[in-house]
């Protein structure tokens, strides 16, 4: 055998072996037990467009997280100042970046200024100024701290969403951060996307607030420290929505972050589901105090500014458990339990992109993609066999190698195959024999010049080399750019295309060449079937 | 004996350049008009760029587009684009982001209106895509950057690989091919979406193959034979590689055609764009790239002549 054939055939063989090795986890549904350790386990994933599922992009309203922190600072200050007997008119967040403390007199103001400086050294304090005849001081959040808070809010939101999805039960979800305030969520094969979207998008801020029964909901004005929230209920028979307004104390007594558990239970009397919640020790203590102090009054259970129920406190409740009832179905109760367990989002999220593909369309796409691929292969194979005879078959063999290597490479990378990705593979079938066409046409010309098959072959490969490089490199340039900028399906296209182009260089320059060399190496062949 | 698509040809390609330039100019102008319309937002933009909602529904029985439109209008969804997919009673619904319904609610509104209007014709939602305006803006920007970088990359490669005049010919031909794709999509009011742009970029990379095949031969013959008239050398070269140019495109064309015919509705327009690109790419390497080089060469020669 002439020099150089051995290692080339070896290389081709090794690559075939590797491809099948990497493809095994994809092709075999259940790997045998000895298939572990060093052997590859990654497989080709199907994109959401092929297996069905939901792709969401969420935008976290990070400004709200900063505002939330400022609200807490304001509440905290109220308690501290009250505790120290410093009288104030009003403490509240003003605008999006500061808390304003309004005091009655200059004397307290000095004490407050000192206290603020000690308690919130990171905040920027404004000089005292006049506000409607009173003395006011602003506490402004530092730009960098606000940025930190926003960043943390996105991270927290991501963890919370991951938690919710895990509890909801989706196999192989992808949840990742993108850019400054976006979170990408992929839920493959999800059956009830609408429900999952609602579960993910909910802020789930649970609050217990006292009902202000001294004020009528239809009163012309309500005090600064009260607010009107509504209880919505849907009539199961007619689907009509009715709203009952409540006047509530603005300040919440207990919040959802003091929960340790939430479970769905069924009311044995009315056969109606409800959510049983458990507080942690601090929550239990607060709940005990609140109920003890307010027996006979009503308090409201508020979730995301909707009143769920507003029961009368009959007796002091110790022990730290309570229940949320409302017009629940089993599903809505279970979803509520999930969001309460997973915790509230630090800031509201907005769904800015939602791509949902049903499983039937996904399967349809796979079938049609495969069909198109098969027909494409068939057309090309037949054409090449007729036009270039035996040499055409060599090119066809190269094309099959190409597809095997490409699939192997996709599996090795754990890449995602999308419908455009399949299209890229089909396109590559055409492009891979393309290189061989360039070579063959050149060989024909050399043969016409009267060269021997062996000489014509070498000249053909030599002279076509640059042309092949040109076409591959330019295709690779655009594929790489598409990979960098593309999302989802387009990225799948770019992955298949760029891998395919590189692999094709190998198969067309080494794979098919070695086959010819093998047959022509003696240099005695009189004819080349081309 | 080898099998040939074409026997030995002797066509005066370069001589026909006036005709081809007219055709190509029309194509290019249409393409530019299309791009301007896209920039103005007046073209049929996919929701990935414009924002909005698109849904694909599969009905149990055939559904007339007019009925569907009336039903949607009745339920307050006014700005809506409908498209029928004949196979399997499918309906493609595209709702403008300003249709009135809140973001994320359009899909529900569509479902509700069809459920109540056509109780005897049940349907399943095969896919839903909702894109908020901020994402659309981001995608548009990303795409522009991607297109710019791709073209820069290709032009740099051409500049490095060819001498100046051939470089201009190849660049013009590449841009011509992309414009042709825009022209056809604009004329037939096909949707301009991410997949279309993907196809354009793919063809931008691919269309060079044919040009390279022709150019390589021209350069080879130029080196061999410096005496013949420029036009003759070019014509001979093109005729020599004519069948090769056609066969290389043919195999890719066959693959793209099978995608177009059998690949299903999701990639139908994408494959159409690829088909157009492959066809135009072959045409332009012969009728655009080469004549431009001849023009430039002749002009250079004339200048030299003036000096001498």
Q: Does A178 touch chain B (CB under 8 A)?
A: no
Domain boundary among B130, B156, B185: B130
* Contact predicate A208/A301, CB 8 Å: yes
The distance of A484 to chain B (nearest Cα, Å) reads: 8
Quick one: pLDDT at residue B261? 94
Question: Tokens 């970088």 appear where?
Answer: B149
The distance of A244 to chain B (nearest Cα, Å) reads: 24
**Which residue of A384, A386, A477 is in closest CB contact with B157?**
A477
Architecture label for domain A63-145: 2-Layer Sandwich (3.30)
Q: Confirm whether B115 is domain-assigned.
A: yes
User: B122 and B255, same structural domain?
Assistant: no
Q: Output the pTM of the full model.
A: 0.82
In 3D space, the residue among A47, A73, A446, A295 whose CA is nearest the CA of residue B267 turns out to be A47
How far apart, in whole angstroms, are the C-alpha atoms of residue B93 and residue B91? 6
Quick one: pLDDT at residue B264? 87
In 3D space, the residue among A428, A421, A411, A451 whose CA is nearest the CA of residue A507 turns out to be A428
Q: Does A467 touch chain B (CB under 8 A)?
A: yes
Q: Confirm whether B235 is domain-assigned.
A: yes
Quick one: pLDDT at residue A382? 94
A118-152 residue pLDDT tens = 888 888 888 888 888 888 989 999 889 899 999 99
Q: Confirm whether B75 is domain-assigned.
A: yes
User: B201 and B214, same structural domain?
Assistant: yes
Q: Confirm whether B157 is domain-assigned.
A: yes
B104-120 residue pLDDT tens = 678 888 888 888 888 88
In chain A, positions 41-60, which contact chain B (CB-CB < 8 Å)? 49, 57, 59
- Split into its structural domains, chain B has a count of 2
User: B221 and B82, same structural domain?
Assistant: no
Burial level of A357, CB count in 10 A (0-12/13-18/19+)? buried
Quick one: pLDDT at residue B104? 61
Q: Which two tokens stand for residue B231?
A: 């036009």
Quick one: pLDDT at residue A236? 64
- Structural domain spans, chain A: 5-51+360-520, 63-145, 202-356
**Which residue of B104, B132, B252 is in closest CB contact with A430?**
B252
Average pLDDT over residues B188-215: 87
Q: What is the CATH number of domain A5-51+360-520?
A: 1.20.1640.10
In chain A, positions 368-427, which contact chain B (CB-CB < 8 Å)? 368-369, 371-373, 375-376, 379-380, 383-384, 386-389, 419-420, 423, 426-427
Backbone dihedral angles phi then psi of residue B27, each to the nearest 5 degrees: -60, -45
The distance of A296 to chain B (nearest Cα, Å) reads: 42
User: B176 and B117, same structural domain?
Assistant: no
Q: Which two tokens stand for residue A329?
A: 């179905």
User: B246 and B211, same structural domain?
Assistant: yes
Inspect the interface and report whether the beta carbons of A372 and B262 lie closer than 8 Å: yes
Inspect the interface and report whether the beta carbons of B258 and A433 lie closer than 8 Å: no
Quick one: pLDDT at residue A237? 67
Q: Does A363 touch chain B (CB under 8 A)?
A: no
- Please enumerate in sequence order all residues whose Cβ is within 8 A of that of A114, keeping only pairs 6 or more positions apart, or say none: none
Inspect the interface and report whether the beta carbons of A482 and B146 lie closer than 8 Å: yes
How far apart, in whole angstroms, are the C-alpha atoms of residue A361 and residue B123? 13
Backbone dihedral angles phi then psi of residue A141, each to the nearest 5 degrees: -75, 140
The distance of A423 to chain B (nearest Cα, Å) reads: 7
Please state the three-class secondary structure of B73-91 as a single string: HHCCCCCEEEEEECCCCEE
CATH number at residue B232: 1.20.1640.10
Rounded (5°) CA angle A12-A14-A16: 70
How far apart, in whole angstroms, are the C-alpha atoms of residue A489 and residue A398? 27
Quick one: pLDDT at residue A24? 86
Q: Which two tokens stand for residue A161?
A: 């969403």
Q: Which two tokens stand for residue B237?
A: 């070269």
Rounded (5°) CA angle A319-A320-A323: 120
Q: Which two tokens stand for residue B283?
A: 């045409």
Domain boundary among B91, B108, B130: B130
Rounded (5°) CA angle A512-A515-A519: 145
Which H helix or E strand runs over A42? none
Residues in A closer than 8 angstroms to B253, CB to CB, are: 430
- Split at pLDDT 50, 70, 90, the class of B141 is confident
Average pLDDT over residues B20-40: 92
User: B22 and B157, same structural domain?
Assistant: yes
The distance of A242 to chain B (nearest Cα, Å) reads: 20
A 10 A CB-CB count for A233 gives 15
Beta bridge partners of A312: A298
The distance of B127 to chain A (nearest Cα, Å) reads: 4
User: B112 and B19, same structural domain?
Assistant: no
Quick one: pLDDT at residue B95? 86
- Split at pLDDT 50, 70, 90, the class of B253 is very high
Choosing among B47, B202, B223, which should be mutated to test the A contact, i.e. which has the most A CBs within 10 A? B202
In 3D space, the residue among B76, B75, B104, B72 whose CA is nearest the CA of residue B91 turns out to be B72
Residues in B closer than 8 angstroms to A419, CB to CB, are: 264, 266-267
Residue B77 is part of which domain span? 52-130
**Which residue of A364, A420, A487 is in closest CB contact with B270?**
A420
Choosing among A352, A424, A501, which should be mutated to test the B contact, i.e. which has the most B CBs within 10 A? A352
User: B230 and B177, same structural domain?
Assistant: yes
SS3 for A132? coil
Residues in B closer than 8 angstroms to A359, CB to CB, are: none
How far apart, in whole angstroms, are the C-alpha atoms of residue B123 and residue B118? 9
Q: Provide ipTM, 2 decimals.
A: 0.86
Inspect the interface and report whether the beta carbons of A379 and B258 lie closer than 8 Å: yes
B44-88 residue pLDDT tens = 888 888 888 889 998 888 888 888 888 888 887 877 888 888 777
User: B188 and B166, same structural domain?
Assistant: yes
In 3D space, the residue among B233, B275, B277 whose CA is nearest the CA of residue B253 turns out to be B275
Q: Confirm whether B247 is domain-assigned.
A: yes
Q: Confirm whether B76 is domain-assigned.
A: yes
DSSP string computed for B16-71: GHHHHHHHHHHHHHHHHHHHHHHHHT-S-B-HHHH-EEEEEEEESS---HHHHHHH
Quick one: pLDDT at residue A177? 93
Give Cα separations from A50 to A53, A362, A418, B44, B190 (angstroms). Answer: 9, 4, 6, 26, 24
How far apart, in whole angstroms, are the C-alpha atoms of residue A65 and residue A253? 20
A 10 A CB-CB count for A86 gives 18
Inspect the interface and report whether the beta carbons of A430 and B256 lie closer than 8 Å: yes
Q: Residue B226 above 80 pLDDT?
A: no
Residues in B closer than 8 angstroms to A475, CB to CB, are: 202, 205-206, 209
* Contact predicate B289/B170, CB 8 Å: yes
Quick one: pLDDT at residue A475? 86
* Contact predicate A369/B270, CB 8 Å: no
Q: Confirm whether B9 is domain-assigned.
A: no
Quick one: pLDDT at residue A483? 86
In 3D space, the residue among A315, A198, A324, A338 whose CA is nearest the CA of residue A254 turns out to be A324
User: B59 and B142, same structural domain?
Assistant: no
Burial level of A417, CB count in 10 A (0-12/13-18/19+)? buried
Question: Tokens 């340790």 appear where?
Answer: A260
The DSSP code for A235 is -
Choosing among B87, B134, B140, B209, which should be mutated to test the A contact, i.e. which has the most A CBs within 10 A? B209
Burial level of A55, CB count in 10 A (0-12/13-18/19+)? buried
Residues in A closer than 8 angstroms to B149, CB to CB, are: 481, 484-485
Q: Does A360 touch chain B (CB under 8 A)?
A: yes
Is beta strand A349-357 parallel, antiparallel or unpaired with respect to A254-255?
Answer: unpaired
Choosing among B251, B269, B271, B279, which should be mutated to test the A contact, i.e. which has the most A CBs within 10 A? B251
Per-chain mean pLDDT for chain B: 86
Inspect the interface and report whether the beta carbons of A379 and B255 lie closer than 8 Å: yes
Domain boundary among B107, B130, B153: B130
The distance of B157 to chain A (nearest Cα, Å) reads: 7
SS3 for A241? strand
Is beta strand A182-188 parallel, antiparallel or unpaired with respect to A272-279?
Answer: unpaired
Architecture label for domain A202-356: 2-Layer Sandwich (3.30)
- Give the residue on B whose Cα is nearest the Cα of A360: B126
CATH number at residue B88: 3.30.70.100
**Which residue of B194, B195, B252 is in closest CB contact with A431?**
B252
Give Cα separations from A476 to A298, A337, B203, B251 (angstroms). Answer: 69, 50, 11, 19
User: B198 and B289, same structural domain?
Assistant: yes
User: B224 and B302, same structural domain?
Assistant: yes
Inspect the interface and report whether the beta carbons of A477 and B247 lie closer than 8 Å: no
* Contact predicate A500/A425, CB 8 Å: yes
Q: Does A430 touch chain B (CB under 8 A)?
A: yes
Backbone dihedral angles phi then psi of residue A375, each to the nearest 5 degrees: -65, -40
- Split at pLDDT 50, 70, 90, the class of B308 is low
Q: Confirm whether B229 is domain-assigned.
A: yes
**Which residue of A361, A437, A487 is in closest CB contact with B244?**
A437
Residues in A closer than 8 angstroms to B8, CB to CB, are: none
User: Which residues of chain A have a pLDDT value below 70?
Assistant: 1-3, 236-239, 522-526
């Amino acid at each position: 055998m002439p020099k150089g054939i051995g290692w080339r055939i070896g290389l081709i063989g090794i690559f075939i072996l590797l491809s099948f090795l990497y493809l095994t986890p994809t092709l075999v549904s259940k790997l045998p037990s000895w298939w572990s350790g060093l052997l590859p386990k990654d497989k080709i994933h199907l994109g959401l467009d092929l297996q069905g599922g939901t792709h969401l992009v969420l935008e976290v309203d990070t400004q709200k997280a900063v505002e939330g922190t400022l609200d807490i600072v304001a509440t905290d200050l109220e308690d501290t100042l009250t505790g120290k007997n410093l009288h104030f008119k009003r403490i509240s967040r003003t605008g999006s970046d500061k808390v304003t403390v309004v005091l009655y007199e200059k004397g307290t103001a000095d004490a407050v200024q000192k206290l603020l400086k000690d308690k919130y050294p990171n905040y920027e304090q404004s000089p005292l100024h006049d506000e409607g005849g009173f003395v006011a001081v602003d506490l402004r959040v530092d730009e960098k701290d606000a940025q930190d808070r926003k960043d943390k809010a996105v991270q927290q939101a991501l963890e919370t969403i991951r938690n919710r999805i895990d509890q909801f039960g989706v196999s192989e979800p992808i949840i990742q951060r993108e850019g400054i305030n976006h979170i990408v969520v992929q839920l493959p094969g999800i059956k009830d996307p609408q429900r999952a979207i609602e579960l993910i998008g909910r802020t789930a801020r649970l609050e217990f607030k006292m009902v202000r029964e001294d004020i009528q909901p239809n009163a012309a004005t309500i005090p600064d420290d009260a607010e009107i929230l509504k209880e919505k209920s849907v009539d199961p028979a007619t689907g009509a929505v009715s709203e009952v307004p409540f006047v509530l104390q603005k300040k919440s007594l207990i919040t959802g972050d003091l929960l340790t558990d939430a479970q769905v239970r069924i009311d044995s009397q009315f056969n109606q589901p409800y959510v049983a919640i458990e507080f942690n020790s601090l929550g239990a203590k607060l709940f005990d105090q609140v109920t003890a102090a307010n027996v006979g009054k009503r308090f409201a259970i508020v979730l995301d500014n909707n009143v769920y129920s507003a029961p009368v406190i009959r007796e002091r409740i110790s022990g730290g458990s309570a229940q949320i009832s409302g017009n629940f179905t089993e599903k809505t109760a279970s979803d509520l339990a999930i969001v309460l367990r997973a915790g509230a989002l630090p800031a509201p999220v907005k769904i800015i992109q939602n791509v949902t593909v049903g499983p039937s369309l996904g399967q349809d796409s796979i079938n049609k993609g495969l069909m198109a691929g098969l027909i494409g292969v068939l057309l090309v194979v037949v054409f090449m066999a007729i036009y270039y005879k035996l040499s055409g078959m060599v090119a066809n063999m190269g094309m099959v190698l190409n597809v095997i290597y490409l699939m192997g490479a996709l599996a090795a990378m754990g890449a995602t195959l999308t419908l455009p990705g399949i299209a890229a593979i089909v396109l590559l079938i055409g492009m891979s024999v393309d290189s061989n066409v360039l070579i063959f046409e050149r060989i024909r010309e050399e043969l016409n010049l009267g060269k021997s098959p062996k000489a014509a072959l070498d000249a053909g490969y030599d002279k076509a080399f640059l042309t092949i490089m040109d076409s591959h490199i330019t295709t690779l340039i655009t594929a790489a750019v598409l990979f960098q900028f593309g999302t989802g399906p387009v990225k799948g296209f770019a992955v298949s295309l760029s891998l395919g182009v590189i692999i094709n260089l190998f198969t067309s320059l080494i794979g098919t060449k070695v086959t010819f060399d093998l047959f022509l190496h003696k240099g005695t062949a009189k004819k080349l079937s081309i | 004996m080898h099998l040939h698509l074409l026997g030995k040809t002797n066509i005066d390609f370069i001589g026909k350049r006036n005709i081809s330039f007219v055709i190509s100019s029309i194509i290019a102008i249409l393409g530019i008009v299309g791009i301007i319309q896209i920039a103005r937002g007046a073209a049929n933009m996919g929701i990935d760029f414009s924002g909005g909602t698109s849904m694909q529904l599969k009905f149990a029985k055939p559904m007339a587009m007019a009925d569907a439109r009336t039903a949607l209008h009745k339920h307050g969804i006014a700005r809506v684009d409908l498209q029928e997919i004949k196979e399997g009673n499918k309906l493609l619904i595209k709702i403008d982001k300003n249709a009135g319904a809140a973001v994320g609610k359009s899909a529900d509104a569509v479902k509700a209106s069809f459920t109540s209007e056509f109780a005897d014709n049940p349907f399943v939602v095969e896919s839903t895509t909702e894109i908020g305006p901020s994402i659309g803006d981001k995608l548009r920007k990303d795409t522009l950057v991607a297109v710019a970088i791709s073209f820069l990359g290709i032009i740099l490669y051409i500049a490095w690989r060819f001498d100046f005049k051939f470089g201009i010919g190849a660049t013009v031909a590449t841009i011509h091919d992309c414009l042709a794709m825009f022209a056809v999509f604009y004329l037939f009011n096909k949707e301009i979406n991410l997949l279309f742009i993907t196809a354009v970029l793919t063809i931008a990379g691919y269309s060079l193959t044919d040009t390279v095949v022709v150019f390589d031969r021209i350069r080879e013959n130029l080196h061999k034979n410096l005496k013949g008239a420029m036009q003759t050398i070019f014509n001979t070269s093109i005729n020599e590689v004519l069948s090769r140019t056609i066969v290389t495109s043919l195999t890719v064309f066959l693959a793209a055609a099978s995608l177009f015919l059998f690949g299903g509705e999701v990639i139908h327009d994408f494959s159409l764009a690829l088909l157009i690109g492959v066809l135009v790419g072959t045409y332009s390497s012969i009728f655009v790239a080469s004549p431009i080089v001849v023009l430039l060469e002749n002009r250079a020669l004339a200048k030299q002549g003036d000096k001498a």
